[in-house]
Chain A
Amino acid sequence: MASIVLNSVDKIYAGGVKAVNGLNLEIRDGEFMVLVGPSGCGKSTALRMIAGLEDISGGEILIGEKVVNHLPPKDRDIAMVFQNYALYPHMTVEENLAFGLKLRKMPKAEISKRVGEAARMLGLEQYLKRKPAALSGGQRQRVAMGRAIVREPQAFLMDEPLSNLDAKLRVSMRASLNTMHERLGVTTVYVTHDQVEAMTLGDRVCVLRDGLLQQVDTPQNLFDNPVNLFVAGFMGSPSMNFVNAELVRGDGGAAVAFAGYKLPVPDATFAEKPGLDQFIGRQVILGIRPSDFEDSVAANGHAGGWVRLPVRAEVTEELGSEINVLFLIDAPPVQHQDTVAAADTGDDEDATLPLVGDKSLWTARVNSRSHVRPGQNIELVVDTHNLHFFDPTSGLSIGHAGARV
Chain B
Amino acid sequence: MTTVPSTVTVVRPGAAGAARRVRRSLTSRTASAVAIVIAVLWTTPTFGLFLSSLRPEDQIKGTGWWTFFSAPELTLENYREVLFSTSSSSGQMAGFLINSIVITVPSVLFPLAFAAFAAYALAWVPFRGRNWVYIGIFALQVVPLQMALVPLLSFFSEGVSVFGVQITPAWELEGPARFAQVWFAHTCFALPLGVFLLHNFMSELPGELMEAARVDGATHGVIFRRLVLPLVVPALATFGIFQFLWVWNDLLVGLIFAGGTSETAPMTVRLAQMAGTKGNEWQRLTAGAFVSVTVPLIVFLSMQRYFVRGLLAGSVKG
Contact of B314 (CB < 8 Å), options: A80, A82, A87, A170: A87
Give, as a whole number of angstroms, the nearest-CB distance from A186 to chain B: 15
B14, CB-defined interface residue at 8 Å: no
- Contacting pair A86 B314 (CB below 8 A): no
Q: A133-B313, A164-B7 are in contact. Are A53 and B217 (CB under 8 A)?
A: no
Contact with B along A90-120 (1 / 0, CB 8 A): 1000000001100110000000000000000
B71, CB-defined interface residue at 8 Å: no
- Interface-forming stretch among B59-67, B100-108, B166-174, B207-215? B207-215
- Contacting pair A89 B1 (CB below 8 A): no
A338, CB-defined interface residue at 8 Å: no
Neighbouring A residues of B272 by C-beta, 8 Å = none
Q: A84-B317, A164-B317 are in contact. Are A103 and B222 (CB under 8 A)?
A: yes
Contact of B215 (CB < 8 Å), options: A51, A133, A238, A320: A51
- Interface-forming stretch among A71-79, A176-184, A217-225, A240-248? A71-79
B146, CB-defined interface residue at 8 Å: no
Question: Which of B3, B215, B312, B314 has the most chain A CB atoms closer than 10 A to its own CB?
Answer: B215
User: Complex formed: what's the CA distance from A268 to B313 in Å?
Assistant: 61
User: Complex formed: what's the CA distance from A83 to B207 in Å?
Assistant: 12
Contact with A along B211-231 (1 / 0, CB 8 A): 111111111001000110011
User: Complex formed: what's the CA distance from A11 to B219 in Å?
Assistant: 25
A349, CB-defined interface residue at 8 Å: yes
Task: Tell me the A residues contacting B by CB distance below 8 Å.
Answer: 51-53, 72-74, 78-80, 82-90, 99-100, 103-104, 131-135, 137, 140, 147, 151, 163-167, 170-171, 194, 196, 200, 237-238, 319-322, 347, 349
- Contacting pair B312 A73 (CB below 8 A): no
Interface pairs A-B: 3 shortest CB-CB: A133-B314, A89-B315, A100-B216
Q: A84-B206, A319-B1 are in contact. Are A103 and B317 (CB under 8 A)?
A: no
User: Complex formed: what's the CA distance from A89 to B206 in Å?
Assistant: 11
- Contacting pair A89 B4 (CB below 8 A): no
Chain A at the B interface: SS class: loop
Q: A103-B222, A163-B7 are in contact. Are A89 and B311 (CB under 8 A)?
A: yes
- Contacting pair A100 B206 (CB below 8 A): no
CB contacts under 8 Å to A, within B237-274, are none
Contact of A82 (CB < 8 Å), options: B7, B208, B310, B311: B208
- Contacting pair B314 A131 (CB below 8 A): yes
B316, CB-defined interface residue at 8 Å: yes
B277, CB-defined interface residue at 8 Å: no
Neighbouring B residues of A99 by C-beta, 8 Å = 213, 216, 218, 226
- Contacting pair B218 A74 (CB below 8 A): yes
- Contacting pair A86 B208 (CB below 8 A): yes
- Contacting pair B3 A80 (CB below 8 A): no
Contact of A194 (CB < 8 Å), options: B5, B215, B218, B219: B5
Task: Tell me the B residues contacting A by CB distance below 8 Å.
Answer: 1-7, 206, 208-209, 211-219, 222, 226-227, 230-231, 310-318
- Contacting pair A86 B212 (CB below 8 A): yes
User: Complex formed: what's the CA distance from A158 to B217 in Å?
Assistant: 17
Give, as a whole number of angstroms, the nearest-CB distance from A71 to chain B: 12
- Contacting pair A164 B215 (CB below 8 A): no
Give, as a whole number of angstroms, the nearest-CB distance from A388 to chain B: 21
Neighbouring A residues of B208 by C-beta, 8 Å = 82-84, 86
Neighbouring B residues of A237 by C-beta, 8 Å = 2-3
13 contacts between A and B (CB under 8 A): A74-B216, A79-B215, A80-B212, A80-B215, A84-B318, A87-B315, A88-B213, A89-B231, A89-B312, A103-B218, A133-B310, A164-B7, A196-B2
Q: A74-B215, A147-B216 are in contact. Are A90 and B209 (CB under 8 A)?
A: no
User: Complex formed: what's the CA distance from A170 to B311 in Å?
Assistant: 28
Give, as a whole number of angstroms, the nearest-CB distance from B220 to chain A: 11
Contact of B316 (CB < 8 Å), options: A51, A86, A319: A86
Contact of A78 (CB < 8 Å), options: B1, B6, B215: B215
Neighbouring A residues of B314 by C-beta, 8 Å = 87, 89, 131-135, 140
Neighbouring A residues of B226 by C-beta, 8 Å = 99
Give, as a whole number of angstroms, the nearest-CB distance from B227 to chain A: 6
- Contacting pair B231 A82 (CB below 8 A): no
Q: A86-B206, A196-B2 are in contact. Are A164 and B318 (CB under 8 A)?
A: yes
Neighbouring A residues of B1 by C-beta, 8 Å = 319-322
User: Complex formed: what's the CA distance from A100 to B226 in Å?
Assistant: 12
